[in-house]
Amino acid sequence: MDYKKYLVINPEVQHALDNNLPVVALESTIISHGFNYPENIESARRCEEIVRENGAIPATIGIVDGKITIGLTDDQILEFGKNREMPKCSRRDVAPIIAKGLSGATTVATTMMFAHMAGIKVFATGGIGGVHFGGEDSLDISADLEELAQTNVAVVCSGAKSILDIPRTLEYLETNGVTTIGYQTDKFPDFYTRDSGCKVDYKVDSTDELAKILKVKDELGFTNGIVIANPIPEESALNTDFIKDLINKALKDADNQGIKGNKVTPFLLAELCDKSEGKSVVANKALVWNNSRVAALLAVSLSKLNK
């Protein structure tokens, strides 16, 4: 496949990849659609700082003028943060966006895909998408799950977003052979809280142990991804009943207003921010930063193991 002509890899990132140095992929949708400006810029910069502080090289990924860019510059991050009309690109959008020479922010699915193209093994995000409530009828299922089924990247996340049907999401992952591993927990988190009421498949206590699992998985020739569930820090977690009540009300409001498809999640996140008086945004930042830290430590462990 001749995809390399569409890739632009930041020289620092390329040097790290060429020399088996630890690299962590970061998504750009969280910049363009996750937080309001200028908090989105501050959060993106902080993610990169945390990755560096823990020994790895950050590679924020996006599509810039029709090129898959692995390692956005600070000016490019600023542009992604200021442009609130930046297209949100999942797998289905990639070819048209590139062919038209446009720019686009990468979701979990496309960040995984592009990280794999570049040879990056570890990716930090907030929470993966999943099966929406009523998904058994609407088939509203995130492309993230399909990407995890076929793309060999380790995704460090705080579980799946709280607005999703967690049991059905985990069932979907299990059907596709995607392992869920809890980092220092046996509980599967649901973004704003540390315990969704569901269990992970396996628990590990160190990134060295995680790295061994990834290495064995590669040596066996498995091509699917893996979910590393890293709970939100305890001091930043929201009360379960509080956040569930807000989510249920927001879901009803979305239904009443006819909001469907990929517009549901942005609507719900905005509603949660408003109704929680900003508490959801504070929690969101805390978990993303914590995931960046663990991803960096994992990338370091994996680099050492591969040497």
Annotated catalytic residues are: 27, 161
In this structure, the number of other CB atoms found within 10 A of the CB of residue 264 comes to 18
Write the single-letter amino acid at 1.
M
Q: Which distant-in-sequence residues (6+ apart) come within 8 Å of 50 by Cβ? A: 289, 292, 293, 296
Interatomic CA distance for residues 305 and 307, integer angstroms: 5
Tell which residue, 191, 48, 23, has the closest CA to residue 118.
Answer: 23
CB-CB contact of 123 with 151 (8 Å)? no
The label of the residue with tokens 């000016």 reads 75
CA distance 256 to 246: 15
Query: Which residues is 128 bridged to in the sheet?
Result: 160
Contacts of 135 (CB under 8 A, 6+ apart): 141, 165, 168
Name the β-bridge partners of 82. Answer: none
d(CA 161, CA 90): 17
Q: Which two tokens stand for residue 272?
A: 């949660």
Q: Which of 113, 109, 122, 117 is nearest to 207 (CA)?
A: 122
Q: Which two tokens stand for residue 76?
A: 């490019």
Biggest alpha carbon–alpha carbon distance for the chain: 56
- Give burial (CB, 10 Å; 0-12/13-18/19+) of 53: exposed
Q: Which of 120, 126, 131 is nearest to 107 (CA)?
A: 126
